[in-house]
Amino acid sequence: MIIGYRTKLPDGNPTGFVEKILAGTKIHTIRTNGDRWRIGMSIQHATGVRTRHYRKFADGVLKGKQPVAMWRRRGRLAVAIDGKALTAERLQLLAVNDGFDTLEQFERWFLAVVDKQPDRTYHGTLLHFTDFNY
């Protein structure tokens, strides 16, 4: 299946996701519709999905899945994986492993997603490209 990536952050700066996937430092992605993914499925990493700018830049295999929930707590992003809330240290690790340069970038990106949810809680799936799990 195809996983599409944005190339720019909301502030207009590049995400660097393509380079980080190719370098093996972006080791997972967070998606809303995780139910359609099965461990062992082939992945086509791409940008410009459903546009004339489509570009597949890598192939991979889905190695693991974990449910993730995110919500706003005291103005900051709170995250639970497999029903367990992440500590500040694990949240920092999640941000870096998801391809963000800073926790602040990760929080801005996902707080915007959380704020669009009717109940202000985002439920998704962490799709792993390696054997790493939280």
Would you state the pLDDT for residue 78? 98
* 124 phi/psi in degrees, rounded to 5: -145, -165
User: Rounded to an integer, what distance in angstroms lies between the CA atom of residue 85 and that of residue 91?
Assistant: 9
58 found inside a domain = yes
How many domains, the chain?
A: 1
Give the whole-angstrom CA distance, residue 28 versus residue 126: 7
pLDDT of residue 36: 92
Predicted local distance difference test score (pLDDT) of residue 33: 86
Domain hosting 68: range is 2-128
Which pLDDT score, from 0 to 100, does residue 77 have?
97
**Residue 134 forms part of a structural domain:** no
Q: Which parts of the chain sit beneath pLDDT 70?
A: none
pLDDT value of residue 64: 97
The verdict on residue 42 lying in a domain is yes
Q: Determine contact, residues 19/63, Cβ cutoff 8 Å.
A: no
Burial class for 110, CB neighbours closer than 10 Å (0-12, 13-18, 19+): buried
Give SS3 for 80.
strand
Q: Does residue 88 form part of some domain?
A: yes
Ordered alpha helix ranges (H), the chain: 17-23, 88-97, 103-115
Residue 133 counted as domain residue: no
Q: Is position 33 within any domain?
A: yes
Percent of the chain exceeding pLDDT 70 equals 100
